Structure 1
């Protein structure tokens, strides 16, 4: 059974040349496609063969039938009438809301919807000028912490959107809309959620981690690895961790033993079994243990009924109870500051842990004598340094024979 030929319009140029050769069309190899079709149709009419001509209208019907999915109304309709039964969009939704979106490292886009009754309420409270406040809230909670920076932009009452310039990229920002009062008060209408602005430079963070996943394992809803940027990591170095563990351990022990009456109760326990010079030496030992800075050598409860004999006390004196009136005092040294989060900070040659925002805090027992603390910060590139030299001097005089004690504290910077 001979295969039926497709219409001439659907044939390729090679197929048309083959048909033209069958009808002895001269110079068919030099003709274009439309010329070949016309020459073949003329040859077909001359030979009496049926000529199949597909008109433009027929072609359009065939093409339109490709999208016929069974609808009965093939006439369609006017596109403008499709949304006629739909209601118009409202001007607002009755809720005070503002949204902050980063556009690029230099600009952020904010849009808001504030009901008029909410604006009228704040105007009655003294609001006079509508404005936007743009906060830097990187690594802080604005519910109880102050933002790093604030920019204020007054805007028009009819405005519904605003573009805000970014002071520093690669930070978290938040925007508020509200009214400024004549007395300087700020009346907030709405506050956005924090948005992170991308950095203006390409990231230098390169970190590859390879994990093994079973071929048939369902990975939906699973987390295999959590990538944390270097700037967000808070794990300190081994040296810094040892320093902080030692300092905080001393502080916790001292604080636990510094409760009112702890020293008095310890002396009562000791006094129940020893007497005389042994009781005084025990009191010194207990006090020195509680206060490693040496304050226990002089700030102990005063003793009565003891007589001094040479370098010690007479052991013949009966045990007596200490007076209930006494005084204890001690001091700790806290050094704090801030620098760039990626810098290296040392205090007295020892590295100090930095918080994600670049702040640091160093706490230790403040003993008698001179404490020399050179503080140095080195930039991440190692090319810039900043230093502050602090000197602290504590002098605690020995206990006098009278009932008054003195202490002297100096800070030399």
Structure 2
């Protein structure tokens, strides 16, 4: 069979010929590849016409009983006898006989669309507008940024792209970041009216820079604040006064230690039943270090040292003067060191 004869055959027929010659994976080959493979295994004859048919029949009979040149290699010995999944080749159809167009975003400046037209739609158009192959297919690209109810006639602007009948996808340069688009597939009738075959989904191109929208302030009302406060574990607080009391109790729990029993009342002012309020408390942190095996007492109570000999205590700091004696004794009881900080506080 000559190259010219093969070139005149459809791809499906070429695939059948290639499969009969033992060529595998025909669905992945182009028409040109199929022709080259067929010519490799079944080259055109240079014999006279009387002998050509006889030689061709002989080769065909030979191929029936001969292993294919493109056959799969045998399995390794360690896989012999293991059930293997049979691989079947299925060609992807060129169309699903559905009238549809899909629009996708590639980047801030480019879109990609693909489409298919059912035979029913083709027959309908051919019956009402003339031969299908003579219909000038067109992609009409609409800019519909900020348009909530697009009806095909209220776009900001549109432009047309003429496509051939053999085309089923197209890259569209829109040159507009952060804008919304929609595409119609159709054609312009003789009276100048655009006939829509199918309409795509709506897409928005992403930004190509930092957003200029900056919120100056986040605001929360008191009701939302109370909900958040309850979620934080403060319990129920139905008024500003109850909220203050709850906050003070929580501060007492968090600041408490073996040396602190409560906060003093002079530093707390009970608010009136108003939304505006203020709570203020102070605390004193005492920290130090000694030998890890030493015995340390603060205000007469022994404290636990960390493995490296350091220690930290938090004290409530009410108004007045506090003496905080700290005594450290060595492990053998021979050495003793005493330090007494004196702290004074006044609230106005």
TM class, shorter-length: 0.3 to 0.5
TM-score using structure 2 length: 0.35
Q: TM-score, normalised by structure 1?
A: 0.30
